[in-house]
Structure 1
Amino acid sequence: MSKIPRNTKPPSPLRVLKASEGNIVLVKTKGGYEYIGVLELADGVMNVVLRDCVEYNENKPTMRLGKVIIRGSNIEFVSVDYARVAPEKISL
């Protein structure tokens, strides 16, 4: 693991999310559902818009949704640049 200099601040999560617009991301909700799609927009309270979105439940695709809006308060986590992390799961 590389060492980070002490005077370096980690990037803001919202900045990382905004910088990921246009990339394929995974969004997991507090209800346990996962959504994989292209991040179209993220706002200051972490509401996100995904296009070409596929919903997953228990690691199985359940539905093609197209464009979805997910409320920020319902998001458990976001994996940015998901196409690089898990290319085998991408079926957009």
Structure 2
Amino acid sequence: MELFVKGAPQQVVDAMRQTVTNMIGTLPPQFFAVTVITTSVTETSVSELAKLLYWLMVVAYSIRNIEVRFDMERVLGTPPKPPELPPGENN
């Protein structure tokens, strides 16, 4: 996520943070013990849920960037390149 924050436009990063905040609320964790229980009977803390939601949005943003790049290459008639992972994530 750190690589995403460094490389993504600030407006995107701010929008994602605001979206996560709107989804889980803003109660300060030092005063409130908030847990979220789903119907797949999973219990987690708000901070862990926030990390998960943010990570999912980062993945979706990255996939959408790959889709847009692929569409542009197709429209422009250039041969597609294989998708690339951000630096430091090549496994």
What TM-score range do you get, normalising by the shorter chain? under 0.3
TM (norm. structure 2) is 0.26
TM (norm. structure 1) is 0.26
Counting helix residues as a fraction of each chain, which structure ranks higher? 2
Name which structure has the greater RCO, CA cutoff 8 Å, separation 6+: 1
Choose 1 or 2 for highest CA Rg.
Answer: 2
